[in-house]
């Protein structure tokens, strides 16, 4: 990793936003992180990705996104969440980028992995996050182009891993409504199905009670919709009714209409340039 000279925090507002939130509402509403845990060559998501020149394209009512280079999954989202939750040290570089230091062991333990010492696996996932480019255009024609991180590695001085967030991602983060679900994170990590995790995260982005139908919800999380996948998804939803209920989400078994009652443990931060969170 290119050596970064670290200084004290220069941007307390942005720094505090990072420290006190998990993600932007946008990231969890437009399917940037696919509702899968691993990528198989035979999957529709992977085939479409390869056919499009290693680009994953998603269009929802909240905006359009292109994910280039890699397919980011719920595993990558879990890792980022775990880093925010367990980071032991944080600083701002001279360039103004936020750096987070964390234990590889604690991250893997937090994720509930069978082994907490597989740093090779962790480094690979961190590299996939670093080398993935995201292009996003919202409903107001605002456009963003960024990678989430631009460097990372192991700091012998602090005896821990470190990742540095890009200026592009920090600008994006600061411009968006953000969501804090840290109090629910351990329970969320215990949910084994990645699509169910993605659905729960989607509902966390809402500041008020909300209802949404089955197919619009799948489109929002980037779930491929065709007769075969929809059949599997219906079964998946019905098999996980208790998981949804644990997070304030009621599902009508017949119509598969989702109704979310906002949890008091979930909070949102609205940037200065926005008046309120759009549900």
* 44 phi and psi angles, rounded to 5 deg: -60, -40
Query: With b meaning 16 or more CB within 10 Å and e meaning fewer, what string describes 205-239?
Result: bbbeebebebeebbbbbbbbeeeebeeebeebbee
Torsion 21-99-163-171 (CA) sign: positive
Domain ranges of the chain: 6-180, 183-269
Rounded CA-CA distance 250/264 in Å is: 16
Interacting residues of 267 by C-beta distance below 8 A, sequence separation 6+: 179, 180
Residue (of 78, 76, 99) closest to 87 by Cα position: 99
* Model pTM score: 0.90
The DSSP H or E segment spanning 235 is helix 227-239
pLDDT tens-digit profile, the chain (279 residues) = 344 333 334 444 566 777 788 999 999 999 999 999 999 998 899 999 999 999 999 999 899 999 999 999 999 999 999 999 898 888 888 888 899 999 999 999 999 998 878 889 999 999 999 999 999 999 888 999 999 999 878 777 777 899 999 999 999 998 999 999 999 999 999 999 999 999 999 999 999 999 999 999 999 999 999 999 999 999 999 999 999 999 999 999 999 999 999 999 999 999 875 655 666
């Amino acid at each position: 990793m290119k050596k970064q000279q670290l200084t004290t925090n220069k941007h307390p507002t942005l720094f505090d936003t990072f420290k006190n939130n998990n993600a932007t509402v946008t990231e969890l509403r437009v399917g940037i992180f696919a509702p899968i845990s691993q990528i198989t060559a035979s999957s529709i998501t992977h085939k479409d990705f390869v056919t499009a020149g290693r680009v994953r394209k998603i269009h929802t009512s909240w905006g359009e996104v292109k994910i280039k280079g890699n397919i980011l999954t719920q595993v990558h989202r879990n890792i980022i969440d775990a880093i925010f939750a367990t980071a032991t040290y944080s600083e701002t570089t001279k360039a103004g980028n936020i750096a987070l230091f964390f234990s590889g062991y604690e991250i893997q333990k937090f994720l509930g992995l069978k082994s907490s010492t597989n740093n090779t696996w962790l480094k690979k996932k961190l590299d996939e996050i670093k080398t993935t480019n995201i292009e996003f255009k919202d409903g107001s024609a605002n456009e963003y182009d960024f990678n989430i991180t631009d460097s990372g590695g192991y700091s012998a001085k602090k005896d821990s891993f470190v990742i540095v967030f890009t200026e592009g991602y920090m600008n994006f983060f600061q411009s968006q409504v953000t969501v804090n679900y840290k109090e629910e994170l351990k329970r969320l990590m215990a949910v084994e199905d990645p699509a169910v995790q993605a659905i729960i995260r989607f509902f966390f982005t809402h500041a008020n009670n909300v209802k949404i139908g089955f197919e619009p919800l799948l489109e929002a999380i980037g779930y491929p919709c065709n007769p075969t996948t929809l059949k599997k998804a219906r079964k998946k939803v019905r098999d996980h009714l208790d998981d949804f209920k644990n997070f304030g989400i009621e599902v009508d078994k017949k119509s598969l209409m989702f109704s979310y009652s906002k949890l008091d443990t979930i909070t949102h931060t609205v940037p200065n340039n926005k008046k309120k969170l759009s549900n």
